[in-house]
Amino acid sequence: MSQEIIRLVEKPYLKTELPGFHIGDTVDVLCRIVEGEKERVQSFNGIVIARAGRGFNESFTVRRIVHEEGVERKFLLHSPNVVDIRVRRRGKSRRAKLFFLRGRLGKARKLRELRIHHKKPAETELASAAV
């Protein structure tokens, strides 16, 4: 009973269109920042090393290197301050959490790129069948 009430309260605050990103992907997170009376959108780009939670409490951690220093930032997926999440590169990962990247330096820090092969459009298949 209480779970249903919680779901009903959280439902209006959930985002309807969520970006499809996974652990190991390199993403740009556009987040809203308020400085005094001004508001701007700042980009934070890095590798997604963890996802946690469910529903309204779902969060993800993004890690990047700035001046040879590791910087990690956690974002709430359904937060109104997260404007957009853009996937720049797909990474191939066999783990749910990539905390081992914290101890890596240089090229050892890179993940293998996941290559996605798209099917041919239907038009080219019909043209080749007619010949």
Residue 26's Cβ-count burial label (10 Å; 0-12, 13-18, 19+) is: buried
Where b means 16+ CB within 10 Å and e means fewer, 58-81 reads eebbbbeeeeeeeeeeebebbeee
pLDDT tens figures, 51-90? 999 888 999 999 998 888 889 999 999 999 999 999 998 8
Q: What is the dihedral of CA 45, 46, 50, 56, to 10 degrees?
A: 0
Its pTM stands at 0.77
> How many domains is the chain built from?
1
| DSSP state, residue 1 | -
pLDDT at position 30 is 95
| DSSP state, residue 114 | P
pLDDT at position 56 is 86
Domain range for residue 77? 2-130
The residues pairing with 41 across neighbouring beta strands, listed in sequence order, are 32
Q: What is the CATH number of the domain that holds 61?
A: 2.30.30.790
Tell me how far apart the alpha carbons of residues 33 and 35 are, in angstroms, rounded to a whole number.
6
